[in-house]
Amino acid sequence: EADIYQTPRYLVIGTGKKITLECSQTMGHDKMYWYQQDPGMELHLIHYSYGVNSTEKGDLSSESTVSRIRTEHFPLTLESARPSHTSQYLCASSELADTQYFGPGTRLTVL
């Protein structure tokens, strides 16, 4: 079973705050991903990484940024949170061009 962790699980913050959502995996996977999941359940890829120092934007435009300084760590940052950022954020990793393993998600609410 995959070991991929996300913190916090739930976060409620005020508009304008800077936040960082953490994602870590212990499997040594090169590829990591961030998805945004809307209330209608649909998943949208917002960032991905091939490996250390590699990051790309996904299909859905996002005001968030990511970094990949270590293989196991792929944090997502919002410089100034807004109510439109309220969503569920899912992190995933994969080794081959195949199965992705997901973390439990962070549910973000911006007031």
Partner 1 sequence: GDSVTQMEGPVTLSEEAFLTINCTYTATGYPSLFWYVQYPGEGLQLLLKATKADDKGSNKGFEATYRKETTSFHLEKGSVQVSDSAVYFCALGGLSGSARQLTFGSGTQLTVLP
The residue ranges that bind partner 1 (CB under 8 A) are 6, 31, 33, 40-43, 45, 48-50, 56, 58-59, 90, 92, 94, 96-105
Pair 90, 107: CB distance under 8 Å: no
Phi, psi for 35 (deg, rounded to 5)? -120, 150
Q: Which residues contact 4 (CB under 8 A, 6 or more apart)?
A: 23, 24, 25, 26, 27, 91, 92, 93, 101, 102, 103
In angstroms, what is the minimal distance from the CB of 29 to partner 1? Answer: 11
In angstroms, what is the minimal distance from the CB of 38 to partner 1? Answer: 10
Indicate the residue among 16 and 51 with the shorter CB distance to partner 1: 51
In angstroms, what is the minimal distance from the CB of 16 to partner 1? Answer: 28
Indicate the residue among 69 and 96 with the shorter CB distance to partner 1: 96
> Quick one: tokens of 59?
């299909």
Indicate the residue among 56 and 79 with the shorter CB distance to partner 1: 56
SS3 83: helix
In angstroms, what is the minimal distance from the CB of 78 to partner 1? Answer: 20
